[in-house]
Amino acid sequence: MAPYARLTGWGMWVPERVMTNQELEAMVDTSDAWIRRRTGIGERRIAGSQDTAVTMGVAAGRRALEVAALSPQDLDLIIVATVTSERIFPACASQLQHALGASRAAAFDVNAACSGFIYALVTAYQFVLSGTCRRVLVVGTEVYSRILNWQDRSTCVLFGDGAGAVVVEAGPPPTDALSFVLGSDGAGADLLYVPGLCGAAGPFNQDGHHYLTMVGAEVFKFAIAATVAATQQALAAAQLDISQVDILIPHQANYRIITAAARALEIPSERVFMNLERYGNTSAASIPMALCEAIDQGRLKKGDHLVLVGFGGGLSWGAVALHWAGGRN
């Protein structure tokens, strides 16, 4: 008999430091009103000197394991979605595995920028449904504050730091993931990227640092189209209509992107979850963090249909349609 798979644990962690829009007003030519109007963001969390993608991911992972009533030794595999590991190699996942004490688990990273958590989650389901693994920890963790040019108001106001994690576990039927969509268009690689670091001849940013670079207007248009198309395709594959979606949890990049996509999908705003006002864009951590808060706020009940959908550098996109099983029980 083929195994079944479901989400049994979830957890998030964010740094203590809060950077408000007012603080950014003193750093770059911007204002709280401008940031809120253009992005919907009011504040974001900024990593402290001791915070890394590993330490934040470990904290989120431990919370997910607690919800799932598992120990690190129960894990067969750890998949980490990140583009802000402190090292090019070894993988952030390998370091996280050691710090977590999950000595039985294999570990690897997924680099799909802000779509990374969707890619990692889909991969985890494949490992469990194939019978290869019984318990997989999926982590999205990012420290974007360390790859931002804090003099560039077009990017530094958008991002924050944080981590989110889920456990995908073999268990009783049914499988809660109904369908998924993954996509990539490398022709748009120059629209959103970080230059250099390894194996490149250059050029790098002028001062030699490796800052995030984004062609905002083009990414904005792509983001709306990708969110709409991926959601529609995942719903079609799951044989669901948008009216049957109880909650849509999109990548938390920009209020205008999310609301434009929601209008195109014809889904009411009350069924679209947003928490970007308090965290900004946390890239691969954004969707699992939003999922955790939706659960904590009672926005999900057993039997609900939800869609997780993201887009990011690559250009990349992905969506997963789920029938919420409410955890292990």
Residue spans of the domains in the chain: they are 4-171, 177-323
Whole-number pLDDT of residue 280: 98
Q: Which CATH number does 4-171 carry?
A: 3.40.47.10
Let me know if the fold of 4-171 is the same as that of 177-323. Answer: yes
pLDDT classification of 208: cutoffs 50, 70, 90: low
Q: Which CATH number does 177-323 carry?
A: 3.40.47.10
| 3-class state of residue 252 by DSSP | coil
User: Does the structure show a pLDDT above 80 at 177?
Assistant: yes
| C-alpha to C-alpha distances, 194 to 62, 98, 282, nearest whole angstrom | 30, 28, 16
Q: What share of the chain is helix, strand, coil (3-state, %, to 5)?
A: 40, 25, 35
Instruction: Give catalytic residues, as residue numbers.
Output: 114, 251, 281
Q: For the ranges 11-15, 169-173, 201-205, 312-316, which has the lowest average pLDDT?
A: 201-205
| C-alpha to C-alpha distances, 285 to 57, 104, 304, 328, nearest whole angstrom | 9, 25, 23, 23
223: number of CA atoms within 13 Å, CB side? 26
> How far, in Å, CA of 61 to CA of 27, rounded?
34
Tell me how many helices (H) and strands (E) the chain has. 10, 13
Q: Identify which has the larger pLDDT, 328 or 173.
A: 173
pLDDT classification of 203: cutoffs 50, 70, 90: low
| C-alpha to C-alpha distances, 324 to 3, 122, 139, 164, 178, nearest whole angstrom | 18, 16, 19, 18, 10
